[in-house]
């Protein structure tokens, strides 16, 4: 049993936070599946690196250019082709897990993060174009995105809700999922065939909060550096346990509804002083997903520890985050800025990708 398979035995699925044509062509993606990877996530930054920073797509770009396609149309054709191929590779995982895993995620145009109506129409279009049951459409947890998410779930579309940093973000999404399922059931839909994950970002929290802690000059504050991100994620897991054991949820579960699992995103350690498996080792538990970039997969295989840890010191985690108030650190403001910055970063990557394709043309 590999370490990744050991995580699966503990109730945590590992999805790969990366995709590119060379990984698909070389057989590397299939090898990852064989080692215990059970899903894939993508985002504009990942596609920018894959398409703009390599020659693997150049022939396809020129062929599409000959058809008169624009840079945006070329990007979408390339992305849909890769996502579709990956979904076909992961279809046996989806079937064997009865729809628990095997999903491949593609993000709606990030420039639409504050436009509910167009996000809904784009998500519908992408889901229909890919036409596979193991596709998840990524939608941001902005206020507009949460409304779109609820509508999409009510229509039976699988959604990966991304860019969550706070407990309020998480609660908004969890309850939107429940409302969406209630609408789906009321319309006679099959709740057992729709799935969702709630992507809660981790390492970026420490990057931001560590600076605020350092600015206090307080020794007790400095002792919290590198700990708030994990504590925040554990608090979100505590809310997950509460919400998905409530009578409101159990009524839907009795009708075949699937839990919306928390997904730990941004799990590579940004600070070289921290263990490169910090955001994996400390967040292992039942009904969770960890989407790992390539370097984190390599590190965890080499020296990570597969053991149940997510419920360790849950009360202490609450106290850590609460202590930020005593230090006059506005954690809510920090998490909201992280979401805003995340939306902007993905939008910037998307624009840079289109510019790179135009340059290749």
Whose structure tokens read 């921290």?
A: 274
Q: Give the separation between CA 18 and CA 293, rounded to whole angstroms.
A: 6
Catalytic hit among 3, 49, 69, 138:
138
Buried b (16+ CB within 10 A) or exposed e, 52-71: beeebbeeebeebeeeebeb
C-beta separation of 108 from 338 below 8 A? no
How far is the C-alpha of 91 from the C-alpha of 81, rounded, in Å?
Answer: 15
Separation CA 73–CA 82 (nearest Å): 14
d(CA 289, CA 123): 22
**Residues 6+ positions from 89 with CB-CB distance below 8 Å:** 24, 29, 30, 33
| Structure letter (DSSP) for residue 112 | G
* Residue 138 appears among annotated catalytic residues: yes
Question: Residue 326: how many CB atoms within 10 A of its CB?
Answer: 10
- Which residues are catalytic, by number? 138
């Amino acid at each position: 049993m590999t370490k990744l398979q050991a995580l699966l035995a503990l109730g945590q699925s590992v999805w790969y936070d990366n995709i590119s044509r060379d990984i698909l062509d070389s057989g590397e993606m299939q090898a990852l599946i064989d080692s215990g990877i059970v899903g894939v996530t993508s985002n504009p930054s990942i596609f920018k690196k894959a398409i703009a920073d390599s020659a693997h797509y150049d022939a396809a770009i020129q062929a599409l250019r000959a058809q008169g396609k624009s840079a945006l149309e070329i990007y979408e054709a390339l992305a849909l082709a890769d996502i579709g191929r990956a979904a076909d590779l992961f279809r046996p995982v989806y079937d064997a897990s009865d729809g628990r895993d095997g999903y491949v995620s593609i993000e709606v145009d990030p420039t639409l993060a504050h436009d509910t109506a167009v996000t809904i129409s784009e998500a519908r279009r992408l889901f229909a174009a890919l036409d596979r049951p193991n596709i998840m459409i990524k939608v941001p947890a902005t206020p507009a995105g949460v409304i779109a998410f609820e509508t999409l779930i009510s229509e039976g579309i699988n959604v990966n809700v991304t860019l969550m940093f706070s407990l309020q973000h998480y609660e908004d999404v969890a309850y939107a999922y429940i409302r969406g399922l209630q609408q789906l059931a009321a319309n006679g839909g099959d709740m057992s065939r729709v799935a969702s994950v709630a992507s809660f970002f981790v390492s970026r929290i420490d990057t931001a909060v560590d600076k605020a802690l350092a600015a206090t000059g307080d020794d007790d504050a400095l002792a919290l550096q590198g700990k708030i991100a994990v504590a925040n994620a554990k608090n979100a897991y505590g809310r997950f346990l509460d919400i998905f054991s409530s009578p409101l949820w159990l009524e839907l579960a009795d009708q075949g509804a699937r839990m919306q699992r928390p997904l730990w995103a941004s799990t590579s350690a940004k600070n070289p002083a921290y263990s490169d498996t910090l955001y994996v080792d400390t967040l292992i538990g039942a009904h969770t997903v960890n989407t790992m970039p390539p370097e984190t997969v390599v590190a965890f295989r080499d020296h990570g520890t597969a053991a149940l840890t997510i419920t360790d010191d849950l009360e202490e985690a609450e106290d850590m985050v609460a202590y930020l108030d005593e230090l006059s650190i506005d954690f809510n403001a920090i998490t909201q800025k992280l979401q805003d910055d995340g939306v902007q970063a993905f939008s910037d990557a998307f624009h840079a990708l289109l510019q790179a394709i135009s340059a290749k043309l």
